[in-house]
Chain A
Amino acid sequence: MLSTFLNHQWKEFWRSRNKAGSIVAQVLLGFFILYFLAMAIVVGFGMELFIGKIFPGQNTITVFNSFILYYFLIEFALRMQLQELPTLSIIPYLHLKISRRQIVNFLNIKSLFSLFNFLPFFVFFPFIFVKIAPSLGMLTGAMYMLTMVSIAVFNNFFILYLKRKAINNVMYFGLGLSLILIGIGLDYYQIISLRNVSNNTFLAIARYPFIALFFTLAAALMLLVNSKYLLANLYTEELSSKNDKKVSTDYAFLNKFGRVGELAALELKLILRHKRSRSSALMGLFFLAYGLLLYKPEMIKTDSFGMMLFAAIMMTGISILTYGQFMFAWQSSHFDGLLTNKIDFKDFIKAKFLLFTISSTLITILASFYGFMSWKLLLLHLAAYLYNIGFGTVVVLYFATLNYKRLDINKSASFNWQGVGASQMILGLPFILLPIFIYLPFGTLDHPFWGLFAVGVFGLFMLLLRNFWVKVITNKFEKQRYKIAEGFRE
């Protein structure tokens, strides 16, 4: 059964409509994975050497022990951002003679094939073989390994659980984020030293090796919780449709934009009336916390805006990125209707620009509380904001005309994982990198404010050219519309 599923997945990937896009993403992803594996092997085999160099005179095993939990905390944070939910369009299988447990098992097993689950093998195991096992005994070495694998598996399923829950309720994403922040905060303010906890844990394992089984138990429990949740939700497709009365609404503030405003209002309703789009809108609010992580006092003092520009672009442009990456596909279920009705394509494109501009403006205003940290951040945000509405919107909409993949916005959100995770992030790279490239020459020549100025002026210039871009994208859209419509009809 498992091999049949894998076979179907394989076909789904190779026969999908925007194959080219996903292959590019996969290849890029492949390079990243190879790079990380290579790094991990270097770190793994050089561990003893590195520890000796960086912490001279300390017991290498103690240092090693104290960093293990750090590693897993960082891993957790990365998974939060990058790990993809295993996808398998389940509905066609549900009515067949396949037990639900088999489907759940497949999803669980597939999730284990994640880079994160393999990294510990390369990072930690060499050192365990070379150092721990000889000096503390084979059993201890084995239990070290068991503990690490268990924590990785625990993280794996915990993240999947959080992510699945977060699709229906964004608070779960917040929960994960706050767990990470609490972990970092406790350590940073020296309330609980993660290093000591880590060291003591593994010292205990060295003394009583079977404590490791406790971690295995935790991982098994997490797997159980996850399976239970999946199993329960395989049944209740319509769990979420409450029978409250729906009312017609009218957004008066958009009326003054005429027909463009009407189309924007239509899309606003789309966003607000579907769980999936609503969560991605809310996700934008959580991203407002990005600055807290990435804006460092030293950076602000020395005017090194390079790294901070990244965070600023992400924050002020998050709505453009998250909503824009699936652009047009949000409307795939009624795309034919949009094409045959009396809608000018130019208005259609303009409405998207309008919506992006409004959302980005709102978020930028919200983000201005960073002004309390430093007035420089406001300049930074202004530059990022101008770039986003001026050029970010253009990039996203241009790529949207190349997206032929249907998105079933109506399907129960729990099993709608199309494109959640790393591959989409990589397609977002040009969006993020361009402003940094503009800034870089000024930054390295020690004219940081001119760098911000350049980014801002670039954005402003593109904003003034908006009518031109609208024309370019409309033309592209007119050419592509048959292909897009065909893809969305599937």
Chain B
Amino acid sequence: MITCKNLKKNYGGKTVVNISELTIGDGETIGLVGNNGAGKTTLFRMLLDLIRPDEGEILSKNENVAQNQHWKNYTASYLDEGFLIDYLTPEEYFIFIGSLHNLSAAHVADYLKQYEEFFNGEILNRGKYIRDFSKGNQNKVGIAAALMQKPELLILDEPFANLDPTTQIRLKSLLKNLKTTHKLTTLISSHDLNHVTDVCDRIILLEKGLIIKDFHTDENTLKELEAYFSE
């Protein structure tokens, strides 16, 4: 699905991402962990062609993401509130995103029904613009809009942050279920080691832009990670 080659990004003389080789296969669920400044968000931004790598390239389905827009057809993402058009109501936002993927308003409404539980009655028909929602609820809008696009590649940056415990658990089961229903490659970054090891089947540990560890999850993973971070 994704290949990074000799990927480098510098800011002010410091290398924030430095990945010589990374391949992500179809259908994998990847958890990206690392302390602040490890380069997780920068990597995501490069994946989404929001910033230009200083060296190297990222191939998505064997096409360089910076050279054409084909990846947009099968990629959905939510990194932060900067992805939301915050002066729209959630309904308008969903309809707009849906229209980009040729979904009619009725389709969108129909589709959103399955998220009633996830939304917990706090999102739809509230008569508010997105900017008037709390951060957690804005997150929900962004994540739901990303999932609605039926992507083959899903990129979420700290999706569990700002969510209440109930929604965190619901989101986890949502992500697990998606894998079973259709082929989906997922990239999630998180500071919550419990959640990532629970959801992901492969963990990539970044530190100062370098990949320190890359392994498949098993029952010892959580302990290993905790040991690493408590050093």
B170 at the interface (CB under 8 A from A): no
A404 to chain B, nearest CB (A): 13
Nearest-neighbour CB distance to chain A for B109, whole angstroms, equals 11
Interface residues of A in 166-220 (CB under 8 A from B): none
CB contact under 8 A between A482 and B82, given known A246-B129, A344-B69: no
Cross-chain contact A341 with B72 (CB below 8 angstroms): yes
Given the interface pairs A247-B127, A273-B129, A339-B50, the reply to whether A334 lies near B84 with Cβ below 8 Å is yes
- Shortest C-beta distance, A255 to chain B (Å), equals 10
Nearest residue, chain B, Cβ from A347: B100
Question: Count of chain B residues with Cβ under 8 Å from any Cβ of A?
Answer: 35
Instruction: Give every chain A residue within 8 A of B48 (Cβ-Cβ).
Output: 336, 339-340
Q: Which residues of B contact A249 (CB under 8 A)?
A: 92
Indicate whether A333 sits within 8 Å of B101 (C-beta atoms), given known contacts A339-B49, A482-B51.
no
Q: Does B115 contact A (CB under 8 A)?
A: no
Contacts of A441 in B (CB 8 A): none
> SS class of chain B's interface: helix, strand, loop or mixed?
loop
| Interface-centre pick from B50, B69, B87, B88 (highest chain A CB count, 10 A) | B87
Q: What is the chain A residue whose CB lies nearest that of B97?
A: A341
Whether the pair A489, B87 counts as a contact (CB closer than 8 A) is no
Bound together, the chains give a CA A241 to CA B133 distance in angstroms of 13
The one of B51, B84, B87, B129 that contacts A486, using a Cβ cutoff of 8 Å: B51
Chain A residue at minimum C-beta to C-beta distance from B45 = A336
Cβ contacts under 8 Å, B24 to chain A: none
| Contact yes or no, A246 B96, CB < 8 A | no
Q: Which residue of the partner chain, among A247, A334, A337, A485, contacts B51 with CB atoms under 8 Å?
A: A485
**Is A266 an interface residue, CB under 8 A from the partner?**
yes
Cβ A269 vs Cβ B87 within 8 A: yes
Residue of A nearest to B83 (CB): A337
Q: Please tell me if the beta carbons of A334 and B85 are within 8 angstroms of each other in the complex.
A: yes
CA distance A339 to B47 in the complex (A): 12
Q: What chain A residues lie within 8 Å of B97 (beta carbons)?
A: 341
Contacting residues, chain B, for A485 (C-beta < 8 A): 50-51
| Distance between B127 CB and nearest chain A CB, rounded to angstroms | 4
Q: Contact at B87–A482, with CB atoms within 8 Å?
A: no
Contacts of A345 on B, CB cut-off 8 Å? 69
Q: How far is the CA of A245 from the CA of B89 in the complex (A)?
A: 11
Check if A262 sits within 8 Å of B99, measured CB to CB. yes
Instruction: Tally A-B pairs: CB < 8 A.
Output: 79
Which chain A residues numbered 253 to 284 have a C-beta less than 8 Å away from chain B?
Answer: 259, 262, 266, 269-270, 273-274
Q: Is A410 in contact with chain B by the CB < 8 A criterion? A: yes
Q: Are A335 and B82 in contact (CB under 8 A)?
A: yes
Q: Check if B131 is an interface residue, CB within 8 A of chain A.
A: yes
Contact of A246 among B52, B101, B128 (CB under 8 A): B128
- Which residues of A have CB within 8 Å of B73? 342
With contacts A246-B127, A341-B100, A410-B131 taken as known, whether A336 is within 8 angstroms of B87 at the C-beta atoms is no
Set of chain B residues within 8 Å of A337, measured between Cβ atoms = 82-85
B86 close to chain A: CB less than 8 A: yes
CB atoms of A333 and B82 under 8 A apart = yes
Quick one: which of B51, B85, B131 contacts A266, CB cutoff 8 A?
B85
Q: In the assembly, what is the distance between CA of A262 and CA of B79, in Å? A: 24
Q: Does A136 contact B (CB under 8 A)?
A: no
A343 close to B (CB within 8 Å): yes
A236 within 8 A of B: no
Q: Residues of A contacting B87 with CB < 8 Å?
A: 269-270, 273-274
Is B158 among interface residues, defined by CB-CB distance under 8 A?
no
A485 CA to B50 CA, complexed, in Å: 7
Knowing A248-B89, A336-B82, A336-B83 are in contact, say whether A266-B50 is a contact too (CB < 8 A): no
Partner of A342, one of B72, B79, B83, B132: B72
A-facing mask of B47-91, CB < 8 A → 1, else 0?
A: 011111000000000000000010011010101111111111101
Q: Does the CB pair B84–A246 fall under 8 Å?
A: no
- Chain B nearest Cβ from A74, distance in angstroms: 40
Binary B-proximity of A91-120 (CB < 8 A = 1, otherwise 0): 000000000000000000000000000000
What's the minimum C-beta distance from A249 to chain B, rounded to whole angstroms?
8
Set A246, A340, A486: member contacting B77, Cβ < 8 A: A340
Q: Which residues of chain B come closer than 8 Å to A410, judged between CB atoms?
A: 86, 131
Among A249, A274, A335, A342, which residue has the most Cβ atoms of chain B within 10 A?
A: A342
**What is the CA–CA distance of A344 and B91 in the complex, to the nearest angstrom?**
23
Question: Among the interface residues A340, A342, A343, which one has the most CB atoms of the partner chain B within 10 A?
Answer: A340
- Whether A269 and B88, one on each chain, are in contact in the complex, defined by CB atoms closer than 8 angstroms, is yes
When the two chains form their complex, are residues B69 and A482 in contact, meaning their CB atoms are under 8 A apart? no
Are A336 and B50 also in contact (CB < 8 A) when A248-B92, A262-B96, A341-B72 are?
yes
Give per-residue flags for A297-328: 1 if the beta carbon is below 8 A from chain B beta carbons, else 0.
00000000000000000000000000000000
Give A329 Cβ to nearest chain B Cβ, in Å: 14
| Identity of the chain B residue whose Cβ is nearest the Cβ of A331 in the assembled complex | B85
Q: What would be 12 A-B contacts, judged by CB atoms less than 8 Å apart?
A: A246-B129, A247-B127, A249-B92, A266-B88, A269-B87, A270-B87, A335-B82, A337-B82, A339-B50, A341-B100, A342-B72, A343-B100
Interface residues of A (CB under 8 A from B): 241, 245-249, 259, 262, 266, 269-270, 273-274, 333-337, 339-345, 410, 482, 485-486, 489
Please name the 7 residue pairs, one residue from A and one from B, whose CB atoms are nearest each other, closest first.
A337-B83, A245-B127, A336-B82, A342-B72, A273-B87, A342-B100, A334-B85
User: Given A246-B89, A266-B85, A334-B85, list of 13 further CB < 8 A pairs?
Assistant: A245-B127, A266-B96, A273-B87, A274-B87, A333-B86, A334-B83, A334-B86, A336-B82, A340-B75, A340-B83, A344-B69, A482-B52, A485-B51
